[in-house]
Amino acid sequence: MPQHLAVGIAASVTILLFINNRLILLPEMESIKRKSYGTVAYGLAITILLTIFWGVNPAAVCVGVLIMAFGDGLAGLIGQNVSSPSWKVWGQRKSIAGTFSLALVCFIVLGVFSQITIGNINYIYLLVITIVTVGLEQISMWGLDNLTVPLGVSFAWAWISNN
pTM for the full predicted model: 0.89
Residue 145 has a pLDDT of 93
Residue 27 has a pLDDT of 78
Residue 18 has a pLDDT of 93
Residue 32 has pLDDT above 90, yes or no: no
DSSP-based three-state secondary structure for 114? helix
Mean pLDDT (the chain) is 91
Residue 33 has a pLDDT of 63
Residue 47 has a pLDDT of 98
Mean pLDDT, to the nearest integer, of 71-91? 91
More confident: 26 or 60: 60
Question: How many other C-beta atoms lie within 10 A of the C-beta of residue 72?
Answer: 24
Residue 34 has a pLDDT of 62
Question: How many other C-beta atoms lie within 10 A of the C-beta of residue 158?
Answer: 20
